[in-house]
Amino acid sequence: MHSFTIVAAAAVAVSAFKTSSISTWSENPTALGASIVVTPNTIASKPAIILGLHPCGGTGQMYQAMTPLPSYADKLNLVLLYPTSKSQSGMNCWDAHSKKSLQHDGGGDSQSLAGLVKTAITQYDADPNKIFVVGGSSGAMEANVLAATYPELFKGAASYSGVPAACWAGSPMSTPLSSDLSCPNGAKASQYTAAQWGTIARDCDAGYNGTYPKMMIVHGTADTAVSIKNLKAQLDQWSNVMGLSWAKNTSNTPTTNWKKIEYGDGTQLVGYEVQGGPHIPAFQADATLGFFGLL
């Protein structure tokens, strides 16, 4: 059985940053453990916050090493949060399936992660308009969940090998060991229209009527763990939520074999189809941070 877990780690360039932790926070119904915190050596006024979510079988420390984001902390005044999920049947995976996690303030992982971010905003006096989430595989799935359950908190999300928000709904767990893999294997991707996917996302926070986070969706065509069909399903979902139409494709952007798929003016929703790309394509820091408006 293929596993949607870490497959590669990027070397992190040496830069000026320091590491600490947030051990406790008030809104933590799933009792997540201490989160790694990466900050500049000297934090300037109103930093941005990026929540980084690991794949199944991973840890916060692992995901910190998977992306070069720490090397940007000093230059861009970033506070980076790297929590570790609880175990689902022996695997550290984020809860992207339960009713608790798929509802705003429902008592699941989504609420615990939102609570961590809120605590960090207060602790570091962060800019509330610069709060983002990135993730790979299980972390990407949870990034979609957070964009749907806490759209007022996050201003943008980047999903590397993820699935639509609430795609896992109805499954007993959101891991490669689940008895229902219809979400990651792409079976569900073809079952819903864009309008239906949009409704599924909106229902995660039914009382919300504001702006949704900007979304960057990345997927490799050779991914054997999470079907490439989920790229279109995510783009269908968020284009419907945002009321955007496909605009254009651009080849070899930001790098060779990456096709950029733009919706609207390209500032709120973009996809990247990575030709021959594996599960969790290499993290494109400049493209991700640029899309967030941080670079």
Catalytic residues: 137
What's the rounded Cα separation, in Å, for the pair 69 and 132? 12
Smallest Cα–Cα separation from 49: which of 9, 28, 79, 24? Answer: 79
- Contact assessment for residue 105 and residue 164, using Cβ atoms and an 8 Å cutoff: no
Would you say the C-alpha torsion 256, 261, 267, 269 has a positive or negative sign? negative
| Cis amide linkage into residue 278, ω under 30° from 0 | no
The Cα 170–Cα 290 span in angstroms is 36
Residues 6 or more apart in contact with residue 251 via CB below 8 angstroms: 259
Quote the CA–CA distance of 157 and 148 in Å, as a whole number.
Answer: 10
CA–CA gap between residue 264 and residue 96 (Å, rounded): 28
